[in-house]
Homo-oligomer: A and B are copies of this chain.
C-alpha cells in the first residue's frame, strides 16, 4: 500500500507542479506581461491545465486510486495518509466525470466570453455579452448533468468552490443575514453621515505603499517567501507555501484602497504561507475552500485592519507620515471615516455593512439562471430591481450593474457565496481567538500580531485542504458555520460608529 501511495503522490506531484506553474503564469499575466503576450499566455495556460487534467485522469492514477480507496477504513481518519488518499480520490473521480472535449469546449467559451465581457463592459453593452453568458449557462447545466443528481442543481456548482456546502445551507444563511443587515443599514441611514473627506485628498502613493509594507511585515508576512506588486485588481497567488504573491492597486480618489487591498491580500497570503510544508506536492497543499480563504483575508483586512485597537497602534505612525492630510484628524474621526457606510452600486467598493447584500443578489441570480427561472434577456432588469429592493439604488448603466464583475465571464458561477461564507467564518474564528486569548486586543494595540498569527497557523493554516470547511470550522470554533457571531460583530461595530443605541 505504501508503494501505491508513493506512486500516486509522484504523479499527483506533477499535477500540482503544473497547476502551480499555471498560477504563476496567470499572476504574470496580471502583473508584468506585455500586452501582446495575451494569446501566447492563453495557449500556455490551456496546455498546462489540459496536461494536468490528463495526468490526473490517467489510467495509472485510476488503478492506484482503486487500490488505495479500499484501505481507507483501516486508516486513522485523522491521518495525513487517509486524507491524502481521500482528497486525491475525490478529485480523480470528479475529473473523470467530465469529458476532455467538454473541458476544451469550456476553455474556449471562457476565453471568448472574457474578451466579450471586457468589450461589453467598456461600452456598457449587455447585448454584446449576452450570447456568451447564455453559452456559459448552458455549459454549466451540462456540467451539472455529468454528476449524480443532488438536492439542488446549484449544489454541484457550489461544490467546486466550497466542498460540502449546499444551496440549502446558503439559503438558510441568507435568510438569517438578510433581514438583520437590511435593518442595520436602515438604522444607519437615519443617523448623521460620517465625515471621511480627509480620506479623499491626495496621498503620495510611495509613502502609502511603504506604510502597507510596514504593517504587513508586522502581521508576519514573510518577504523571503513572497512579494507584493501592483495590478488592476488586487489578488493573491500561492505557488506553494514558499512563493506567495500579493498585489494591490492605486484607485483615483480612493488612496486607502491601496492599503486595505494590501491588508486583505495579506490575509490570503498568510494562509498560503502557513500551509504545512510537509504536505509537499500533494493535493492537501492547498486551501480548504474559497470561503475559508476569504475568512482569512477578511479577518486581517476588517477585524484587524478596520478595528480601533489596530489604529490605536498605527494611527500615530500614519499621522506622522501624512501631517498635512491627517494632522487635524483625531483617531476617533479616522476610525469612523474608514468605517463609513454608504450604499453603492459596485460590490468591490462596498463597505462591510452592505457587502453581503451585493452577494445575495448575485447568488439568487445565478440560481435563477441555472434553473431557467430567469431568461438571459431579462437579467439586467432583474439585477436593477433587486438593487432597488436591497440597496435602494439603480445603476445608470449595465457597466455599473450586471456587467461589473469578471466572475461569470471566466465561468466562475457558484463562486460568489464564498465571500459571504468568508465574512461569517471570519467572525466565528475571531470570537474563538478572543476566548483563547483574552488579551487579543491589547496585543493588537501594541502592534504585536505574533500570538494571533501563531493561533491561526495552529488552528487553521497548517491544515491546508486536509479538512472540508464545515469540519474545519467545527473543529476550530466548536460549532458549524453560523452567522450569529458575524451579525453580532457587525451590529456592535456599526451601532458604535454611528452612535445608535442598541
Evaluate whether A225 and B281 lie within 8 angstroms (CB atoms) in the complex, with A24-B44, A41-B243 already known: no
Min CB–CB distance A331 → chain B (angstroms): 35
Residues of B within 8 A of A229 (CB): 32
- A477 CB-CB contact with B under 8 Å: no
Instruction: Check if A240 is an interface residue, CB within 8 A of chain B.
Output: yes
Distance between Cα atoms of A35 and B242 in the complex (Å)? 9
Point out the residues of chain B lying under 8 angstroms from A35, CB to CB: 224-225
Which residues of A191-224 are within 8 A (CB) of B? 222-224
For A227, list chain B residues within 8 Å (CB).
32, 34
Q: Interface stretch among A13-21, A123-131, A322-330, A456-464?
A: A13-21
A243 touches B40 (CB 8 A): yes
- Please tell me if A43 contacts chain B, counting CB pairs below 8 Å: yes
Q: In the complex the two chains form, is A225's CB within 8 Å of B36's CB?
A: yes
Taking the closest CB of chain B, its distance from the CB of A111, in whole angstroms, is 15
**Is the CB of A226 closer than 8 A to any CB of chain B?**
yes
Query: Are A243 and B51 in contact, CB atoms less than 8 angstroms apart?
Result: no
Inter-subunit contact A14/B47 (CB<8 Å): yes
Complex CA gap A391/B313 in Å reads 63
* 18 interchain pairs, CB-CB under 8 A: A13-B47, A17-B46, A18-B47, A18-B51, A20-B44, A21-B44, A21-B47, A24-B28, A33-B243, A34-B243, A34-B245, A36-B225, A37-B243, A40-B240, A40-B243, A41-B239, A41-B243, A51-B55
Contact of A36 among B24, B25, B46, B243 (CB under 8 A): B243
Q: How many monomers of this protein are in the complex? A: 2
Complex Cα distance, B229 from A41, in Å, reads: 19
CB-nearest residue of chain B to A32: B227
In the complex, residue of chain B having the shortest beta-carbon distance to the beta carbon of A18: B47
A32 proximity list for chain B (CB < 8 A):
32, 227, 229
Q: Does A39 contact B (CB under 8 A)?
A: yes
- Residue in A35, A47, A245 whose Cβ sees the most chain B Cβ within 10 Å: A47
Interface string of A1-37 (1 = CB under 8 A from B): 0000000000001100110110011001000111111
Is residue A476 contacting chain B, with contact meaning CB distance below 8 A? no
- Least distance between A157 CB and chain B CB atoms (Å): 29
Give A103 Cβ to nearest chain B Cβ, in Å.
Answer: 14
CB-CB under 8 A from A223, the residues of chain B are 34
> Residues of B contacting A242 with CB < 8 Å?
34, 36-37, 39-40
